[in-house]
Amino acid sequence: MGIKDLPAAERPRERLLQLGSQALSDAELLAIVLRTGRRGLSALDLARQLLETHGNLAGVVTASSTPAVLGTATTAQLKAVLEIGRRLLRQNLKRGSLLQSPADVRAFLVATLRALPHEVFGCLFLDNRHALISYEELFRGTIDGASVYPREVVKRALTLNAAAVIFAHNHPSGVCEPSTADQRLTQRLKEALETVDIRVLDHFVVGDGEPMSFAERGLL
């Protein structure tokens, strides 16, 4: 059964227009982007199959097999949609904006880091009002780790005249729990930055689900 054969109230595009995008499932949103399915599969069926195969939307977008399955044009369209989302979130956290909403920070970090197939350690540099100076990717690693050098973090924070920082890194495995190494590193970074009067406000671990906050866990 194709999407056009469904009752109007069950079609993803009609549901989006009537109820808003937040009411749709991942499969429904993906089906709208795909527009068409394959022989024997509607766009919605194909979306569900892709999500089952790759785990989540990030997995679909980053999968190396996606161009072969969907074609180059559709794959490019998916990646463009993802990048639009990232840029909108970056605009919400533009230079000089006060970080008053933890939800905005989390959303930005999820959009920036979750889909990456390798580990990245980034930092939000803030001034003494906790307004954003810059977000920078400081270190890039492999699928299961990245080498982080406290001296380089301190050097960059001083260059930007930061008064506080928020760290973030992703776990490509999808597990948001911090490792013992993550906790040791965070403590080393905190101690190194304290010597130059720069505060570590938080460290987020980004994986599947809600990013884990060191501050909320009492780990800082």
pLDDT, tens only, 136-175: 999 988 766 678 899 999 999 999 999 999 999 999 888 8
Return the residue matching tokens 């195969």. 53
pLDDT on residue 19 = 87
pLDDT on residue 196 = 96
User: Which CATH code fits 95-217?
Assistant: 3.40.140.10
pLDDT on residue 26 = 87
What is the residue type of 137? Answer: E
Q: Evaluate whether 133 touches 98 at the Cβ level (below 8 Å).
A: no
Q: Give the start-to-end residue ranges of the domains of the chain.
A: 3-87, 95-217
Q: Evaluate whether 170 touches 134 at the Cβ level (below 8 Å).
A: no
**Taking the model in full, what pTM does it have?**
0.69
pLDDT on residue 111 = 80
pLDDT on residue 210 = 86
Residue numbers of the chain with a pLDDT score lower than 50: none
pLDDT on residue 145 = 67
pLDDT on residue 198 = 97
pLDDT on residue 54 = 81
The candidate with the shortest Cα–Cα distance to 213, out of 172, 181, 169, 173, is: 169
What is the residue type of 138? Answer: L
- Largest Cα separation within the chain, whole Å, is 66
Residue 124 main-chain phi, psi, to 5 deg? -95, 115
pLDDT on residue 126 = 93
The pair of structure tokens assigned to 72 is: 């180059």
